[in-house]
Amino acid sequence: MTIHPLLAIIDAPIIIGILVFGADKLPKLARSAGQAKKEFLVGQAEADEAAAKAREEARQRAAAQRADIMENVEAGSMAGEAVPPPTPGHGTPSS
């Protein structure tokens, strides 16, 4: 028994799909599957972008927490004079 070459190319799932959905509904099914894939990829790209933004914000928060708070404080002279406390938004006043 020989198999017709056309039947050798067509797989069983394709034949079942044609029988279940009908030949007229297959283009609509393929179109909706394509739209669903496109929406999925757009959503995945948005999620990747949001994750990257969250990682960057977390990195910046961690860097701010590790920053030395004494970097912005001016020291007095070596004569031992007192350094006045910083005023909000202005740092320490110069003498």
Distance CA 86, CA 50 (A): 38
Per-residue pLDDT reduced to its tens digit, 20-31: 877 788 788 889
In Å, the largest CA–CA distance within the chain is: 109
Per-residue pLDDT reduced to its tens digit, 35-58: 999 999 999 999 999 999 999 999
CB neighbour list of residue 86: distance below 8 Å, 6 or more residues apart: 73, 92
Rg (CA), the chain: 35
CB neighbour list of residue 76: distance below 8 Å, 6 or more residues apart: 82, 83
